[in-house]
Amino acid sequence: MSTTTLQPLTSAFIDRRRLGWLLASGLTLLPLVGIGLREALGSDLWLFAPTVILYGLVPLLDAWIGEDKTNPFEEDVPALEADAYYRWVVYLSLPLAYLMLAFCGWYAVNAGLSWYGYAGLAIAAGWTAAAAMNAGHELGHKRSPTERRLAQLALAPAAYGHFCIEHNLGHHRHVATPEDSASSRLGESYYRFMAREIPGAMKRAWQLESARLAREGRTPWSLRNEILQTGAVTLGFWGALLLWLGVAVLPLLLIQAAMAYSLLSSANYVEHYGMLRQRDSEGRYERPLPRHSWNSNHVLSNILLYQLQRHSDHHAHAARRYQALRHFDEAPQLPSGYFGMFLLAFFPRLWFRVMDPRVIEHAAGDAGRINFHPPRRAALIERYSLAD
């Protein structure tokens, strides 16, 4: 791996989160909290503790700690991005995730768990896989072939090897348009979105990779197919655990993958809800702007997610590393960090009550600036008295 000569920062900017970013890598180890509590206190219900922490405690801490809109000075960004420490923080999450998932599998098979204890541990393992996927998202945008390979490894435990292709070449191109399966629409519930987004992402990724290989004169079933490459890692990892622990570990592997899928869909659902890019006089969509992504500056959830919540800057500069992502005053802001919004999305009526008025306000009451769920378009325009 190449080394980088670091340059001193040119101004007074200090990254107060420098050590805190390790929490994002440490998120992969969260199942240990539930396991430790179960060992100490006896009840299998403690294995749900990681899920309660992330859906319950983290949103409360986000509200208590508050937001931080601090941006790095632009002249500091090159040195900040060149600092190898930040890359190694992300790399660390990969071995931790694999070790944690293997340990979860061993514990599930050997600890004499009840059915609900097994389920709680499998769901907690899904948080581990999702944390690895978030690292894969960070790595998959980088130009380094090494980091792109590491992204494939990060996505493999959850069997989500198509993500980087679909996300980089599909979502980033079509974001905040009706053509994007990964952009949620006003009036569309999380559950309807997930049912559309997951198969849509897989289909688009296969089409994009098939087209790339066709340009090289290869079939989709070539060993150069990156989806199949990552799938081979998935089969190798899952197969090794099955040989070691037996078929009893298979439900855990399936549940953790399903949980990771749902969490990625939760993020996609939150990030662009109702946002719509405009077409120019030639019918082409305007480039993605800060106003086309929902953002959050809540401190704790931003640390835990490698600042994924500064999503506008990510779409403007996809290769920019997490530590250098910026806040934009014009970007619409979520009322909570992502973990709180994920929980809210489980309850569509509450989600619509909280988020729909924010979309309407952001669009200044103009239906032409809103990405609607088609079956509800007319009813929502009438309900909110929108200009159509």
For 56-90, the pLDDT digits (tens) are 999 999 999 999 998 988 888 888 999 999 999 99
Statement: residue 4 has pLDDT above 50: no
pLDDT digits (tens, 9 = 90+) for 89-146: 999 999 999 999 999 999 999 999 999 999 999 999 999 999 999 999 999 999 999 9
Q: What burial letters (b/e) apply to 144-172, b meaning 16+ CB within 10 Å?
A: eeebbebbbbbbbbbbbbbbbbbbbbbbb
Predicted pLDDT of residue 12: 53
Structure tokens at 313: 């800057």
Give the confidence band of 15 by pLDDT, cuts at 50, 70, 90: confident
pTM of the model: 0.93
Q: Is 247 left (phi over 0), alpha (psi -120 to 50) or beta?
A: alpha
**pLDDT tens track for 203-220:** 999 999 999 999 999 999
In sequence order, what are the beta bridge partners of 67?
298
For residue 341, what are its two tokens? 């919004």
Q: Phi first, then psi: give them for residue 311, nearest 5 degrees.
A: -75, -30
Tell me which residue of 68, 43, 64, 183 sits closest to 120, measured CA to CA: 43
Encode pLDDT of 267-294 as tens digits: 999 999 999 999 988 889 999 999 999 9
Checking if the pLDDT of 5 tops 60, the result is: no
d(C-alpha 325, C-alpha 164), whole Å: 20
pLDDT at 73: 84
Computed over every residue of the chain, the mean pLDDT equals: 94
Tell me the C-alpha distance between 29 and 281, whole Å.
Answer: 51
For residue 34, which of 111, 92, 95, 87 has the smallest C-alpha distance? 111
Q: Angle formed by the axes of helices 115-140 and 84-110, to 10°? A: 160
Nearest to 339 by CA among 30, 18, 19: 30
Environment class of residue 101 by beta-carbon count within 10 Å: exposed (0-12), middle (13-18) or buried (19+)?
Answer: buried
Instruction: Please report, for the chain, the start and end positions of each structural domain, with discontinuous segments joined by +.
Output: 22-384
- Residue 365 makes CB contacts below 8 A (sequence gap 6+) with 384, 385, 386, 387
Q: How confident is the model at residue 3 (pLDDT cuts 50, 70, 90)?
A: very low
For tokens 């080394």, the residue is: 3
Burial category of 348 from C-beta neighbours within 10 Å (exposed 0-12, middle 13-18, buried 19 and up): middle
